[in-house]
Amino acid sequence: MSSEEIIRLKHYIDIKHHNFDRQQRASVLANAVHRIIDSRLPSVPDVLKREIRSKLLMNKRELLSIDVDDVLQQCMSLDLSREDILFPLAAWVCSKTANSTLEEEVRQIILGWSMEDKPLVGFQALESKLSSIDCIPCMELAATHESVVSTPRKGWLNRKRYIAGATVFAAAILMTITLVTITLVNQQPAALAPTINTTNLSQPVVSEIEKSDSFGIPKEFRYVSVDTKRLQNYLLEKNSILAEEPFISAIISAGKQYDIHPLLLFAITGQEQGFVSKNHKDVEKIANNPFNVFGSWELYNTTIKSSAEIAAKTVANISSRRPEGRHPVQWLNETYAEDPNWWMGVTWFFNKLQQDVQDDTFEWSE
């Protein structure tokens, strides 16, 4: 995490929460930074994820940079004999490469490092070991050391105005972050500004859930083919730019890639951004991130392909950890959004999309 990225976050928070006092804004900033870092960490148990994040922030508070090697090295202090730690760590390492087929070899290398006294741990060292066992080295981030938190440059930030005091300021902010105590969610960032008023929505229709679907990802969330023409018509009635290419195809493809129902992803865009009306002055920017991943479309403006994939992966990851008996969208709400009524809006949109596009109804028991 660089000083420039912290400044972007602070600038956004100062605008959005201008009525907050200094301490409140510092807490919001800490919350945002923690959420972004957590979303980029391996999918280890939540308590360990929070521990890793805290140690990374404390250890790197002076250098103001956290990269993939820092994360990997910190994870080596965990009990890697546990599969619920080793497997997600290896999967995370492979996600930072151009090839995800090396997971078994990566697991063996990481496990070997954990048994050494002072191993040389890092992506370059990993590439060397993979080369030595005749694997295809594909650690494209080994040389670049991509930051755990990476926010693209934006035109509204005047670099000349801030750069002179960036390092000193960022050091102070990062120190504040390490000292502020906040209860956080740990997988994907929250949506900051839902656009539907859920107070007037009726409770979603309910019925019995099959026992096999009482926990984890329910079958109703799994990918199915949708009638693209009917979906386009639904979105056009909303004057939504998402009815056009590349948006509609990117969202459907992301659902297929992560085995998530495309209409659930569109329902999230309905709750987050009202399906992105063409009448909005920032329609093209909002359409790049209609899911508000990593805080908001203003804070993280990327491509629709990238944001859709992040959103679909987020839904899959959170839903896979759903405990028995928990309403699936309400469970998703706890991590994805700050608004406690967010799930009702998403459920309403999902049900409406199911009815209008698939001639089906979305029903759940409490």
pLDDT in tens, 29-58: 777 777 777 777 888 888 888 888 888 888
Instruction: For the chain, give the percent of residues with pLDDT over 90.
Output: 28
- Whole-angstrom distance, CA of residue 1 vs CA of residue 172: 14
Alpha-carbon torsion angle 151, 152, 158, 163, nearest 10? 60
Question: Per-residue confidence at 157, pLDDT binned at 50, 70, 90?
Answer: very low
- Whole-angstrom distance, CA of residue 199 vs CA of residue 203: 10
Question: Phi/psi zone of residue 254: left (φ > 0), alpha (ψ -120 to 50 degrees), beta?
Answer: alpha
Domain ranges in the chain are: 3-179, 198-358
Three-state DSSP class for residue 68: helix
pLDDT in tens, 188-237: 333 333 344 444 444 444 333 333 456 789 888 999 999 999 999 999 99
User: Between residues 162 and 348, which one has the greater pLDDT?
Assistant: 348
Residues across the chain? 366
- Whole-angstrom distance, CA of residue 327 vs CA of residue 284: 34
- Whole-angstrom distance, CA of residue 36 vs CA of residue 188: 7
Q: Answer whether residue 151 shows pLDDT above 50.
A: no
- Whole-angstrom distance, CA of residue 302 vs CA of residue 336: 19
Instruction: Please tell me the predicted confidence (pLDDT) of residue 4.
Output: 64
Whole-model pTM over 0.75: no
Q: Tell me the HSE value of 41 on the side-chain side, using a 13 A CA sphere.
A: 32
Instruction: Please tell me the predicted confidence (pLDDT) of residue 5.
Output: 66
Looking at domain 198-358, its CATH architecture is Orthogonal Bundle (1.10)
Q: Is the CB of residue 76 less than 8 Å from the CB of residue 113? A: yes
DSSP letter at 239?
T
